[in-house]
Structure 1
Amino acid sequence: MFEQVEGQVQASVEWLRLFVEGLGALVIAAGIVVVVVALARHLLSDRGGNFGPIRLTFARYLTLALELQLAADILSTSVAPTWDRIGKLAAIAVIRTALNYFLSKELQAEGASPAEATGAPPRPDRP
């Protein structure tokens, strides 16, 4: 009986992992669509060469997608934690965390506050 319950839990977690991975891919796809539309508007309106706001928008989508993909990897490792999977998860987590860190730095360098970079509403003490 224990093996049956364990199998059901593993199957449920695998389905959840698949859903989270798919959601991450959808976030990237949505970001690409939003950026392509914004880029087309930008190029058609002859606003000059400043693509900063478009890059910031895409970075927000990528940051969210990276978080979702990391969550999917954590789910995958939690079901069958072998040392091989744990090592791969650690490597992936380091790479994705570094990418996320540098994306956040770039967002801040472009002039977005941390709240704007994550899409959070502005704090009351900030305009």
Structure 2
Amino acid sequence: MEGSLSGFFAQFEATVGIITQYLATGVEGVSGIIVGIAVIEAVWSSLKLFFVQHEKPESLKEAIRLRLGRWLSVVLEFLLAADILRTAVAPNWSDIGKLAAIAGIRTALNYFLGQEVREEARSQQQAADASITRPIRREQG
């Protein structure tokens, strides 16, 4: 009885491990597709801006950059999730160390990318607010 139970758990663990590996690979694949689409969108928007709307304000260039940055931030989160999935089933100390290093690097990249995106969005909002309130201040002036 005990032997069949331990065999069942060993088989169950192996099955969960295989499913988890497939999930992690799927998440990495989807991440690659998202990056590809985001880059194509950014390139397309940049080309339109460069050739068709070249006299538009600089803020449009920043908008393209911010949109790409937001997608890259999402992808970094997905890739971190894939790394966690890969390490979730029966990790050894080497796997845990690699995950810690990768998680640290990706989290730092995501943090600084997020800071830059937030700062640029805040600056765009302040510029928009200023353009709205400037005529009101002149009338009051």
User: What TM-score do you get using the length of structure 1 for normalisation?
Assistant: 0.83
Q: Distance in 2 between matches of 1:40 and 1:80?
A: 48
Secondary structure of 2:35's aligned partner: helix
Q: Distance in 1 between matches of 2:118 and 2:37?
A: 23
**Structure 1: which amino acid aligns with 2:32?**
A
Larger Rg: 2
- TM alignment of 1:1-127, pairs within 5 A: 1-44=8-51, 45-46=53-54, 47=56, 49-50=58-59, 51-112=61-122
Structure 2 stretches lacking a partner, 5+ long: 1-7, 124-141
The two structures, once aligned, show a CA RMSD in angstroms of 1.5
CA-CA distance at 1:85 after TM superposition: 0.7
| Aligned partners of 1:17 and 1:72 also within 8 Å | yes
Farther-moved stretch of structure 1 (89-98 vs 103-112) = 103-112
| Aligned partners of 1:18 and 1:72 also within 8 Å | yes
Q: Distance in 1 between matches of 2:38 and 2:57?
A: 22
| Aligned partners of 1:27 and 1:64 also within 8 Å | no
Structure with the largest fraction of helix: 2
The total of aligned residue pairs comes to 113
CA-CA distance at 1:65 after TM superposition: 0.5
Give the % identical residues.
42
